[in-house]
Chains A and B, each alone.
Chain A
Amino acid sequence: MTGRADPAETLAYVDDCLDAAARGEFETRLKADPELRREVAQWESQNRAIRAAFGAPSRNALDLGGASNENAVRQPSEAARSLEGAARPFGQPRKKRATARPVAKPRRAGPGPAARRVFGAIALAAAIVWAGLPALGPRPPAALVAAGASAARALADLPAEFAAGDPAALAQRIGPRLALTPPLAPGLQLVGARLASGSQTTATLYLYENSHGARVALMIEPLDEITAAPARRGEADGLSVAAWTGAGYGFVAAARDDADVAALVAAAGADDEFLADASLQRR
Protein backbone atom coordinates (compact mmCIF):
# COMPACT_ATOMS: atom_id res chain seq x y z
CA MET A 1 0.00 0.00 0.00
CA THR A 2 1.34 3.38 -0.90
CA GLY A 3 0.63 6.88 0.35
CA ARG A 4 0.22 8.28 3.81
CA ALA A 5 -1.94 6.55 6.39
CA ASP A 6 -5.11 8.17 7.53
CA PRO A 7 -4.34 10.18 10.72
CA ALA A 8 -7.50 8.86 12.30
CA GLU A 9 -6.30 5.33 11.71
CA THR A 10 -2.90 6.13 13.15
CA LEU A 11 -4.61 7.65 16.14
CA ALA A 12 -6.79 4.58 16.52
CA TYR A 13 -3.68 2.38 16.41
CA VAL A 14 -1.90 4.44 19.07
CA ASP A 15 -4.97 4.51 21.31
CA ASP A 16 -5.55 0.78 20.88
CA CYS A 17 -8.91 1.14 19.15
CA LEU A 18 -8.28 -1.14 16.15
CA ASP A 19 -9.40 -4.74 15.91
CA ALA A 20 -6.82 -7.47 15.33
CA ALA A 21 -7.08 -7.56 11.55
CA ALA A 22 -6.84 -3.82 11.10
CA ARG A 23 -4.01 -3.71 13.57
CA GLY A 24 -2.00 -6.32 11.67
CA GLU A 25 -2.52 -4.51 8.42
CA PHE A 26 -1.46 -1.21 9.95
CA GLU A 27 1.68 -2.75 11.42
CA THR A 28 2.64 -4.04 8.00
CA ARG A 29 2.41 -0.51 6.68
CA LEU A 30 4.24 0.76 9.70
CA LYS A 31 7.30 -1.37 8.93
CA ALA A 32 7.61 0.17 5.50
CA ASP A 33 7.05 3.80 6.45
CA PRO A 34 9.64 5.48 8.68
CA GLU A 35 7.69 8.73 8.77
CA LEU A 36 4.67 6.87 10.05
CA ARG A 37 6.81 5.11 12.64
CA ARG A 38 8.10 8.46 13.84
CA GLU A 39 4.58 9.81 14.21
CA VAL A 40 3.40 6.72 16.05
CA ALA A 41 6.40 6.86 18.35
CA GLN A 42 5.72 10.51 19.11
CA TRP A 43 2.08 9.91 20.00
CA GLU A 44 2.91 6.85 22.08
CA SER A 45 5.48 8.88 23.98
CA GLN A 46 2.77 11.49 24.56
CA ASN A 47 0.53 8.81 26.03
CA ARG A 48 3.31 7.60 28.31
CA ALA A 49 4.17 11.14 29.38
CA ILE A 50 0.55 11.98 30.19
CA ARG A 51 0.06 8.81 32.21
CA ALA A 52 3.31 9.38 34.07
CA ALA A 53 2.53 13.06 34.71
CA PHE A 54 -0.80 12.31 36.38
CA GLY A 55 0.21 9.19 38.26
CA ALA A 56 -1.60 6.57 36.18
CA PRO A 57 -0.10 3.08 35.96
CA SER A 58 1.56 2.22 32.69
CA ARG A 59 -0.54 0.35 30.13
CA ASN A 60 2.21 -2.13 29.37
CA ALA A 61 3.97 -3.91 32.17
CA LEU A 62 7.55 -2.83 32.49
CA ASP A 63 10.16 -5.33 31.40
CA LEU A 64 12.20 -5.44 34.53
CA GLY A 65 13.92 -8.29 33.82
CA GLY A 66 15.30 -11.52 33.63
CA ALA A 67 17.87 -11.68 30.95
CA SER A 68 18.62 -7.97 30.98
CA ASN A 69 20.48 -8.44 34.24
CA GLU A 70 22.97 -11.08 33.31
CA ASN A 71 24.67 -11.23 36.67
CA ALA A 72 21.46 -12.31 38.36
CA VAL A 73 21.15 -15.49 36.36
CA ARG A 74 24.80 -16.47 36.41
CA GLN A 75 26.10 -18.86 38.98
CA PRO A 76 28.84 -17.50 41.27
CA SER A 77 31.27 -20.14 40.11
CA GLU A 78 30.60 -19.17 36.50
CA ALA A 79 31.34 -15.54 37.30
CA ALA A 80 34.57 -16.53 39.00
CA ARG A 81 35.64 -18.69 36.04
CA SER A 82 35.04 -15.90 33.59
CA LEU A 83 37.04 -13.53 35.75
CA GLU A 84 39.96 -15.92 35.89
CA GLY A 85 39.97 -16.41 32.18
CA ALA A 86 39.42 -12.77 31.24
CA ALA A 87 42.06 -10.95 29.27
CA ARG A 88 44.29 -8.48 31.09
CA PRO A 89 45.22 -5.12 29.60
CA PHE A 90 48.51 -4.93 27.71
CA GLY A 91 48.82 -8.68 27.72
CA GLN A 92 49.82 -8.91 31.36
CA PRO A 93 49.58 -12.38 32.85
CA ARG A 94 46.92 -12.78 35.51
CA LYS A 95 48.30 -13.86 38.86
CA LYS A 96 46.86 -17.01 40.25
CA ARG A 97 45.41 -16.37 43.62
CA ALA A 98 46.48 -18.91 46.22
CA THR A 99 43.75 -20.90 47.82
CA ALA A 100 42.97 -19.59 51.27
CA ARG A 101 43.72 -22.00 54.07
CA PRO A 102 41.70 -22.01 57.24
CA VAL A 103 43.43 -20.22 60.07
CA ALA A 104 44.37 -22.59 62.87
CA LYS A 105 43.17 -21.66 66.32
CA PRO A 106 46.08 -20.52 68.48
CA ARG A 107 46.79 -22.77 71.44
CA ARG A 108 46.33 -21.07 74.74
CA ALA A 109 48.90 -21.52 77.42
CA GLY A 110 47.61 -22.01 80.92
CA PRO A 111 44.51 -23.59 82.38
CA GLY A 112 41.40 -24.26 80.39
CA PRO A 113 38.01 -22.68 80.93
CA ALA A 114 36.84 -25.19 83.53
CA ALA A 115 40.02 -24.78 85.56
CA ARG A 116 39.69 -20.99 85.38
CA ARG A 117 36.16 -21.22 86.77
CA VAL A 118 37.36 -23.33 89.69
CA PHE A 119 40.21 -20.93 90.47
CA GLY A 120 37.84 -18.00 90.32
CA ALA A 121 35.44 -19.61 92.77
CA ILE A 122 38.28 -20.37 95.18
CA ALA A 123 39.56 -16.77 94.98
CA LEU A 124 36.08 -15.40 95.64
CA ALA A 125 35.61 -17.65 98.67
CA ALA A 126 39.00 -16.60 100.05
CA ALA A 127 38.15 -12.92 99.65
CA ILE A 128 34.86 -13.42 101.50
CA VAL A 129 36.61 -15.24 104.34
CA TRP A 130 39.23 -12.49 104.59
CA ALA A 131 36.82 -9.55 104.49
CA GLY A 132 33.88 -11.10 106.24
CA LEU A 133 30.38 -11.34 104.82
CA PRO A 134 29.02 -7.97 103.84
CA ALA A 135 26.10 -6.70 105.88
CA LEU A 136 22.92 -7.01 103.90
CA GLY A 137 20.26 -4.37 103.50
CA PRO A 138 20.34 -0.72 102.50
CA ARG A 139 23.26 1.37 103.61
CA PRO A 140 24.02 5.07 103.51
CA PRO A 141 26.01 6.24 100.51
CA ALA A 142 29.77 6.10 100.91
CA ALA A 143 30.03 9.66 99.56
CA LEU A 144 27.79 10.87 102.37
CA VAL A 145 29.97 9.17 104.99
CA ALA A 146 33.13 10.60 103.47
CA ALA A 147 31.66 14.11 103.27
CA GLY A 148 30.43 14.00 106.86
CA ALA A 149 33.74 12.74 108.20
CA SER A 150 35.82 15.29 106.35
CA ALA A 151 33.48 18.13 107.36
CA ALA A 152 33.73 17.07 110.99
CA ARG A 153 37.48 16.79 110.73
CA ALA A 154 37.89 20.21 109.10
CA LEU A 155 35.19 22.30 110.72
CA ALA A 156 34.12 20.86 114.03
CA ASP A 157 36.79 22.63 116.07
CA LEU A 158 36.26 26.01 114.43
CA PRO A 159 33.95 28.64 115.99
CA ALA A 160 30.30 28.19 115.13
CA GLU A 161 28.92 30.42 112.39
CA PHE A 162 25.48 30.36 113.99
CA ALA A 163 25.93 30.25 117.74
CA ALA A 164 22.79 29.27 119.61
CA GLY A 165 21.84 26.74 122.23
CA ASP A 166 18.17 26.56 121.33
CA PRO A 167 17.60 23.90 118.63
CA ALA A 168 14.42 25.48 117.27
CA ALA A 169 15.93 28.94 117.01
CA LEU A 170 19.02 27.54 115.36
CA ALA A 171 17.01 25.62 112.79
CA GLN A 172 14.91 28.69 112.09
CA ARG A 173 18.00 30.80 111.42
CA ILE A 174 19.40 28.29 108.99
CA GLY A 175 16.13 27.68 107.21
CA PRO A 176 13.72 24.82 106.72
CA ARG A 177 15.26 23.45 103.55
CA LEU A 178 18.74 23.02 104.94
CA ALA A 179 18.18 22.09 108.52
CA LEU A 180 16.05 19.87 110.59
CA THR A 181 15.76 20.74 114.26
CA PRO A 182 18.89 19.24 115.80
CA PRO A 183 18.41 16.55 118.46
CA LEU A 184 19.38 17.14 122.06
CA ALA A 185 21.46 14.30 123.38
CA PRO A 186 22.12 13.67 127.04
CA GLY A 187 25.64 14.71 127.99
CA LEU A 188 26.04 16.86 124.88
CA GLN A 189 25.44 20.58 124.67
CA LEU A 190 24.45 22.25 121.43
CA VAL A 191 26.75 25.17 120.72
CA GLY A 192 25.86 26.21 117.18
CA ALA A 193 26.05 25.28 113.54
CA ARG A 194 28.14 25.78 110.42
CA LEU A 195 27.51 25.29 106.74
CA ALA A 196 29.51 22.52 105.14
CA SER A 197 29.91 20.81 101.80
CA GLY A 198 27.86 17.64 101.70
CA SER A 199 28.12 14.80 99.24
CA GLN A 200 25.79 16.46 96.77
CA THR A 201 24.80 19.87 98.10
CA THR A 202 25.24 22.25 101.01
CA ALA A 203 24.74 20.62 104.38
CA THR A 204 24.36 21.84 107.95
CA LEU A 205 26.95 20.81 110.49
CA TYR A 206 25.55 21.02 114.02
CA LEU A 207 28.20 21.29 116.70
CA TYR A 208 27.95 19.86 120.19
CA GLU A 209 30.36 19.75 123.11
CA ASN A 210 30.61 16.92 125.56
CA SER A 211 31.43 17.24 129.21
CA HIS A 212 35.16 17.38 128.42
CA GLY A 213 34.77 20.21 125.94
CA ALA A 214 35.40 17.98 122.91
CA ARG A 215 33.40 18.82 119.82
CA VAL A 216 30.84 16.38 118.36
CA ALA A 217 29.45 17.03 114.87
CA LEU A 218 26.20 16.02 113.23
CA MET A 219 25.95 16.73 109.51
CA ILE A 220 22.46 16.83 107.99
CA GLU A 221 22.30 17.00 104.20
CA PRO A 222 19.07 17.19 102.18
CA LEU A 223 19.11 14.44 99.57
CA ASP A 224 16.62 13.74 96.82
CA GLU A 225 15.14 10.29 96.37
CA ILE A 226 17.24 8.72 99.07
CA THR A 227 16.31 5.30 100.39
CA ALA A 228 15.98 5.04 104.18
CA ALA A 229 18.92 3.16 105.64
CA PRO A 230 19.58 2.28 109.30
CA ALA A 231 22.59 3.66 111.09
CA ARG A 232 25.92 2.07 110.41
CA ARG A 233 28.90 2.84 112.53
CA GLY A 234 32.58 2.75 111.81
CA GLU A 235 35.68 4.87 111.66
CA ALA A 236 36.73 7.40 109.11
CA ASP A 237 39.48 10.02 109.15
CA GLY A 238 40.39 8.94 112.66
CA LEU A 239 36.90 9.72 113.95
CA SER A 240 34.12 7.50 115.11
CA VAL A 241 31.36 7.92 112.55
CA ALA A 242 27.76 6.81 112.31
CA ALA A 243 25.69 7.45 109.18
CA TRP A 244 22.08 6.85 108.29
CA THR A 245 19.44 8.16 105.92
CA GLY A 246 15.72 8.77 106.08
CA ALA A 247 12.95 11.27 105.29
CA GLY A 248 14.93 12.81 102.46
CA TYR A 249 18.00 13.58 104.52
CA GLY A 250 21.36 12.02 105.12
CA PHE A 251 22.84 12.10 108.64
CA VAL A 252 26.46 11.68 109.66
CA ALA A 253 27.48 11.88 113.32
CA ALA A 254 31.22 12.11 113.96
CA ALA A 255 33.26 12.40 117.15
CA ARG A 256 36.46 11.16 118.70
CA ASP A 257 34.49 9.16 121.26
CA ASP A 258 32.17 6.33 120.31
CA ALA A 259 29.85 7.10 123.22
CA ASP A 260 29.15 10.60 121.95
CA VAL A 261 28.25 9.25 118.52
CA ALA A 262 25.99 6.63 120.05
CA ALA A 263 24.29 9.29 122.14
CA LEU A 264 23.61 11.42 119.08
CA VAL A 265 22.25 8.50 117.13
CA ALA A 266 19.96 7.58 119.94
CA ALA A 267 18.79 11.14 120.41
CA ALA A 268 18.07 11.45 116.70
CA GLY A 269 15.82 8.42 116.94
CA ALA A 270 17.72 6.50 114.30
CA ASP A 271 17.64 2.77 114.15
CA ASP A 272 19.14 1.48 117.40
CA GLU A 273 20.39 -1.62 115.76
CA PHE A 274 23.93 -0.60 114.99
CA LEU A 275 25.68 -2.72 112.50
CA ALA A 276 29.41 -2.96 112.36
CA ASP A 277 30.37 -1.66 108.96
CA ALA A 278 33.50 -3.29 107.73
CA SER A 279 33.99 -0.84 104.91
CA LEU A 280 33.97 2.06 107.37
CA GLN A 281 36.38 0.37 109.72
CA ARG A 282 38.95 -0.18 107.02
CA ARG A 283 39.13 3.46 106.02
Chain B
Amino acid sequence: MSSVREWSDDAGALRRFGLALVRDDRYVFDDVAASALIEKLFRQASLTLVDGPGADRRAARVRAFAQFVRLYRRHARRLAVDEDGGWIETPPSGRSCGSAAVGVRSLPLELREALLLVALAGFTHREAAEALDLPLAVVIDRLLRARARLAAHMAASRDAVVAWPQNAHLRIVK
Protein backbone atom coordinates (compact mmCIF):
# COMPACT_ATOMS: atom_id res chain seq x y z
CA MET B 1 0.00 0.00 0.00
CA SER B 2 1.45 3.37 -0.92
CA SER B 3 2.11 5.98 1.70
CA VAL B 4 -0.35 8.36 0.07
CA ARG B 5 -3.04 5.71 0.37
CA GLU B 6 -2.17 5.13 4.01
CA TRP B 7 -2.33 8.84 4.78
CA SER B 8 -5.64 9.06 2.97
CA ASP B 9 -7.00 6.10 4.96
CA ASP B 10 -5.93 7.68 8.22
CA ALA B 11 -7.40 11.04 7.25
CA GLY B 12 -10.67 9.38 6.24
CA ALA B 13 -10.81 7.47 9.50
CA LEU B 14 -10.16 10.66 11.42
CA ARG B 15 -12.96 12.45 9.58
CA ARG B 16 -15.38 9.59 10.21
CA PHE B 17 -14.42 9.50 13.84
CA GLY B 18 -14.85 13.26 14.06
CA LEU B 19 -18.29 13.18 12.49
CA ALA B 20 -19.45 10.46 14.86
CA LEU B 21 -17.95 12.19 17.86
CA VAL B 22 -19.14 15.75 17.39
CA ARG B 23 -22.69 15.00 16.39
CA ASP B 24 -24.68 14.82 19.56
CA ASP B 25 -28.06 15.99 20.66
CA ARG B 26 -26.82 18.85 22.74
CA TYR B 27 -24.25 20.96 20.91
CA VAL B 28 -24.11 20.02 17.26
CA PHE B 29 -27.49 19.29 15.81
CA ASP B 30 -26.99 19.09 12.09
CA ASP B 31 -24.47 17.79 9.61
CA VAL B 32 -23.53 21.24 8.28
CA ALA B 33 -22.44 22.49 11.67
CA ALA B 34 -20.70 19.19 12.31
CA SER B 35 -18.81 19.39 9.02
CA ALA B 36 -17.62 22.91 9.72
CA LEU B 37 -16.43 21.96 13.17
CA ILE B 38 -14.74 18.82 11.92
CA GLU B 39 -12.87 20.74 9.22
CA LYS B 40 -11.61 23.18 11.81
CA LEU B 41 -10.46 20.47 14.20
CA PHE B 42 -9.20 18.20 11.43
CA ARG B 43 -6.85 20.87 10.06
CA GLN B 44 -5.08 21.02 13.37
CA ALA B 45 -5.22 17.35 14.28
CA SER B 46 -4.13 15.97 10.91
CA LEU B 47 -0.84 17.87 11.04
CA THR B 48 0.60 15.07 13.10
CA LEU B 49 -0.30 12.36 10.57
CA VAL B 50 2.80 11.15 8.75
CA ASP B 51 3.36 9.12 5.63
CA GLY B 52 5.88 6.78 7.10
CA PRO B 53 5.18 3.05 7.46
CA GLY B 54 5.10 0.85 10.52
CA ALA B 55 5.30 1.96 14.11
CA ASP B 56 5.89 5.61 13.24
CA ARG B 57 2.67 5.78 11.31
CA ARG B 58 0.77 4.00 14.05
CA ALA B 59 2.08 6.37 16.68
CA ALA B 60 1.31 9.37 14.50
CA ARG B 61 -2.21 8.08 14.03
CA VAL B 62 -2.71 7.82 17.76
CA ARG B 63 -1.33 11.34 18.21
CA ALA B 64 -3.69 12.75 15.57
CA PHE B 65 -6.75 11.17 17.15
CA ALA B 66 -5.61 12.25 20.60
CA GLN B 67 -5.23 15.80 19.35
CA PHE B 68 -8.70 15.70 17.86
CA VAL B 69 -10.19 14.41 21.09
CA ARG B 70 -8.43 17.13 23.09
CA LEU B 71 -9.63 19.85 20.73
CA TYR B 72 -13.19 18.65 20.83
CA ARG B 73 -13.16 18.29 24.60
CA ARG B 74 -12.01 21.90 24.84
CA HIS B 75 -14.72 22.97 22.42
CA ALA B 76 -17.45 21.11 24.34
CA ARG B 77 -16.20 22.37 27.69
CA ARG B 78 -16.32 25.94 26.45
CA LEU B 79 -19.90 25.47 25.25
CA ALA B 80 -20.91 23.83 28.51
CA VAL B 81 -19.45 26.63 30.59
CA ASP B 82 -21.41 29.10 28.53
CA GLU B 83 -24.59 27.21 29.37
CA ASP B 84 -24.78 25.48 32.71
CA GLY B 85 -21.39 24.09 33.54
CA GLY B 86 -22.06 20.38 33.09
CA TRP B 87 -20.51 18.95 29.97
CA ILE B 88 -19.81 15.29 30.56
CA GLU B 89 -23.29 13.86 30.75
CA THR B 90 -25.20 14.54 27.61
CA PRO B 91 -28.88 13.87 28.18
CA PRO B 92 -30.44 11.27 25.90
CA SER B 93 -32.47 12.65 23.09
CA GLY B 94 -35.65 10.74 23.84
CA ARG B 95 -36.13 9.96 20.19
CA SER B 96 -36.99 6.35 19.64
CA CYS B 97 -35.03 5.71 16.51
CA GLY B 98 -33.56 2.29 16.06
CA SER B 99 -30.32 3.27 14.40
CA ALA B 100 -26.99 2.70 16.06
CA ALA B 101 -25.98 6.26 15.16
CA VAL B 102 -28.65 7.72 17.42
CA GLY B 103 -27.69 5.36 20.20
CA VAL B 104 -24.06 6.42 19.94
CA ARG B 105 -24.98 10.10 19.87
CA SER B 106 -27.04 9.74 23.00
CA LEU B 107 -24.05 8.45 24.95
CA PRO B 108 -22.12 10.82 27.18
CA LEU B 109 -18.99 12.18 25.59
CA GLU B 110 -16.63 10.22 27.86
CA LEU B 111 -18.23 6.94 26.82
CA ARG B 112 -18.72 7.95 23.21
CA GLU B 113 -15.11 8.81 22.54
CA ALA B 114 -13.85 5.54 24.00
CA LEU B 115 -16.36 3.44 22.10
CA LEU B 116 -15.77 5.20 18.79
CA LEU B 117 -12.01 4.96 19.03
CA VAL B 118 -12.23 1.21 19.43
CA ALA B 119 -15.28 0.22 17.39
CA LEU B 120 -15.06 2.78 14.58
CA ALA B 121 -11.41 3.79 14.31
CA GLY B 122 -10.10 0.29 15.06
CA PHE B 123 -7.84 1.22 17.96
CA THR B 124 -6.75 -1.39 20.44
CA HIS B 125 -7.64 -0.78 24.05
CA ARG B 126 -4.09 0.24 24.84
CA GLU B 127 -3.99 2.72 21.93
CA ALA B 128 -7.34 4.13 22.97
CA ALA B 129 -6.03 4.63 26.50
CA GLU B 130 -3.03 6.42 25.06
CA ALA B 131 -5.15 8.62 22.83
CA LEU B 132 -7.55 9.49 25.64
CA ASP B 133 -4.71 9.95 28.14
CA LEU B 134 -6.38 7.57 30.60
CA PRO B 135 -5.41 4.37 32.39
CA LEU B 136 -6.26 1.16 30.55
CA ALA B 137 -8.68 0.03 33.25
CA VAL B 138 -10.67 3.24 32.97
CA VAL B 139 -10.98 2.84 29.23
CA ILE B 140 -12.18 -0.75 29.59
CA ASP B 141 -14.69 0.33 32.20
CA ARG B 142 -15.99 3.06 29.90
CA LEU B 143 -16.20 0.63 27.01
CA LEU B 144 -18.25 -1.81 29.07
CA ARG B 145 -20.60 0.94 30.21
CA ALA B 146 -20.93 2.31 26.71
CA ARG B 147 -21.76 -1.10 25.25
CA ALA B 148 -24.30 -1.79 27.99
CA ARG B 149 -26.03 1.54 27.37
CA LEU B 150 -25.96 1.07 23.62
CA ALA B 151 -27.42 -2.43 23.93
CA ALA B 152 -30.19 -1.11 26.17
CA HIS B 153 -30.93 1.70 23.74
CA MET B 154 -31.09 -0.62 20.74
CA ALA B 155 -33.24 -3.14 22.61
CA ALA B 156 -35.64 -0.39 23.66
CA SER B 157 -35.88 0.83 20.09
CA ARG B 158 -36.47 -2.69 18.87
CA ASP B 159 -39.17 -3.26 21.47
CA ALA B 160 -40.82 0.02 20.51
CA VAL B 161 -40.91 -1.04 16.89
CA VAL B 162 -42.24 -4.48 17.74
CA ALA B 163 -44.87 -3.06 20.08
CA TRP B 164 -46.08 -0.50 17.60
CA PRO B 165 -49.30 -2.20 16.46
CA GLN B 166 -50.53 -2.58 20.05
CA ASN B 167 -49.63 0.96 21.02
CA ALA B 168 -50.92 2.68 17.95
CA HIS B 169 -54.21 4.45 18.47
CA LEU B 170 -55.77 3.79 15.15
CA ARG B 171 -59.42 4.27 14.58
CA ILE B 172 -61.23 1.74 12.42
CA VAL B 173 -62.84 3.53 9.54
CA LYS B 174 -65.50 1.79 7.58
Chain A residues proximal to chain B, CB less than 8 Å: 7-8, 11-12, 15-17, 42-43, 46-47, 49-56, 59
Contacts and interface: CB of A to CB of B under 8 A. Distances in A.
Interface residues of B, number: 24
A11 B150 contact: no
B71 interface: no
Interface of B: 13, 16, 19-20, 99-101, 104, 115-116, 118-120, 122, 124-126, 140, 143-144, 147, 150-151, 154
B147 A43 contact: yes
B93 to A, nearest CB: 15
Contacts of B122: 59
A7 to B, nearest CB: 6
A73 B139 CA distance: 49
Contacts of A53: 20, 99-101, 104
23 contacts: A7-B144, A11-B125, A11-B147, A15-B143, A16-B124, A17-B124, A46-B100, A46-B150, A46-B154, A49-B100, A50-B20, A50-B100, A50-B104, A50-B115, A50-B119, A52-B100, A53-B99, A53-B101, A53-B104, A54-B16, A56-B13, A56-B16, A56-B120
A46 B115 CA distance: 10
B151 A42 contact: yes
The 10 closest A-B CB pairs, nearest first, are: A49-B100, A53-B101, A53-B100, A54-B20, A50-B119, A17-B124, A47-B119, A8-B140, A17-B125, A15-B118
Contact of B116 (A43, A50, A55, A59): A50
A50 to B, nearest CB: 5
Contacts of A43: 147
B16 A55 contact: yes
Contact of B140 (A11, A16, A54, A55): A11
B101 A46 contact: no
Given A42-B151, A46-B150, A54 B13 contact: no
Contacts of B150: 46
Nearest to A54: B20
A42 B150 CA distance: 11
B69 to A, nearest CB: 16
Given A46-B151, A50-B120, 6 more contacts: A12-B125, A15-B118, A49-B100, A53-B20, A56-B13, A56-B120
A55 B124 CA distance: 20
Contacts of A46: 100, 119, 147, 150-151, 154
B66 to A, nearest CB: 18
B119 A15 contact: yes
A15 B101 contact: no
Contacts of A50: 20, 100, 104, 115-116, 119-120
A50 B144 CA distance: 15
B143 A54 contact: no
B107 to A, nearest CB: 11
A11 B144 contact: yes
Contacts of B147: 11, 43, 46
Residue of A12, A43, A53 with highest tally of chain B CB at under 10 A: A53
Contacts of A49: 100, 154
A115 B54 CA distance: 81
A56 B19 CA distance: 11
B101 A54 contact: yes
A101 B4 CA distance: 61
A17 B144 contact: no
B100 A15 contact: no
A43 B124 CA distance: 15
A54 B147 CA distance: 17
A54 B125 CA distance: 20
A210 B137 CA distance: 121
Contacts of B104: 50, 53
A12 B166 CA distance: 40
B115 to A, nearest CB: 7
Nearest to A15: B118
Contacts of A55: 16
A146 to B, nearest CB: 68
